[in-house]
Amino acid sequence: MNTANPATSSELLAAVASRELAGMRMVFAGIGLPTLAVSLADLTVAPGLEIVYESGVCGAHPSHLPETIADAVLITGAEAVLPMASLFGYVLQGGRIDVAFLGAAQIDRYGNLNSSVIGPWERPAVRLPGSGGAVEVMANAGEVFVVMRRHDPRSFVAELDFCTSPGPDRARADGGRPRGRGVTRVITDLGILSRAGDGAGEELTLTAVHPGVTAERVRAATGWDLKVADALATTAPPTDQELRLLREDIDPDRVYLR
């Protein structure tokens, strides 16, 4: 580790998320920390990773760090730009995506996500943007990674105020046949929660904590009785190479490394 200039929380999250992409081929990415994680993975553990954006871009080779999922720099020099009906219909619903990143305002123990409202939908205390493509990403991606910058009981809740994007258990209970395993990793500023996603009723379990974080602290920051893995790991801090790539090549202006 670069002891003279230690990793920030964002750098740690990006590095940890990038390592989880080892062996992946097709990733559906949003903007922000996922952009950094995917770019870093492409340069380290998953060379040749194809990034797909819901705007329709496949195989982007941007000259600058994109500011949106539809940034002009994603188009110029891209391998393909599809109409959205093809992107959602053939690529996502057609089952081509190995892993997708989603964000949320609330997550529950099964990895169901709320990005719609805080409070009742009819008269919300806070109206959030809503699904966008999240409900279809959850139903159709092989698995889903969630990155949360702040692990606290307001976000990690026992009961969602609204279920925007249901995991496979909820989907099956409603007669659905979800293709994917739902949320398998939640990467936060405190550690990593994991689900294998291959059995009914399976909960997110704390499988790793970041250096200096205790399991008790993570449990206190979680709104349900969080299970802790017997073999609780400590995440390895970003390596010198990961930090150099993030700081010098991927996000030199620190747009997302805030």
Partner 1 sequence: MDKTTTMSEAIARYVADGATVALEGFTHLIPTAAGHEIIRQRRRGLTVVRMTPDIVTDQMIAADCVAKVVGAFVGNSSAGSLGELRRRVEAGTLELEECSHYGMICRYLAGAQRLPFYPLRSYAGSDLPRVNPGLRKVVSPYPGPDGGEPEQVYVVPPVHPDVTIIHAQRADRRGNVQIWGLTGIQAEAVYAARHAVAVVEEVVDDAVVRADPNRTAVPAHAIDAVVACPHGAHPSFAQGYYDRDNAFYRRWAGISKDPERLKAWLEEYVLGTRDHAEYVAKLAADGTWDRLAVGSAPSGSIDYGRRLRKEHP
55 interacts with partner 1 by CB under 8 A: yes
Part in contact with partner 1 (CB under 8 A); list of ranges 11-19, 76-84, 144-152, 185-193: 76-84
Please report how close the Cβ of residue 114 comes to partner 1 at its closest, in angstroms.
9
Does the protein bind partner 1 through residue 70 (CB under 8 A)? yes
Residue 54 known to be catalytic: yes
**CB distance 54 to 89 below 8 Å:** no
For the sheet with 227-234, list strands across it.
80-81, 57-58, 50-52, 26-28, 99-102, 143-148, 183-188, 191-194, 205-209, 227-234
Catalytic pick among 11, 20, 54, 143 = 54
HSE-CB of 64 using CA atoms within 13 angstroms = 10
Q: Which parts of 164-183 interact with partner 1 (CB under 8 A)?
A: 164-167, 169-179
The window from 10-18, 51-59, 224-232, 243-251 that contacts partner 1 (CB under 8 A) reads: 51-59
Work out whether 156 is an interface residue with partner 1 (CB under 8 A): no
Q: CA 32, CA 17: separation in Å to the nearest integer?
A: 12
Name the residue type at position 31. Answer: I
Q: Does 34 sit near partner 1 (CB under 8 A)?
A: no
By CB under 8 A, residue 35 contacts partner 1:
no
Distance CA 57, CA 160 (A): 32
Which residues carry out catalysis?
Answer: 54
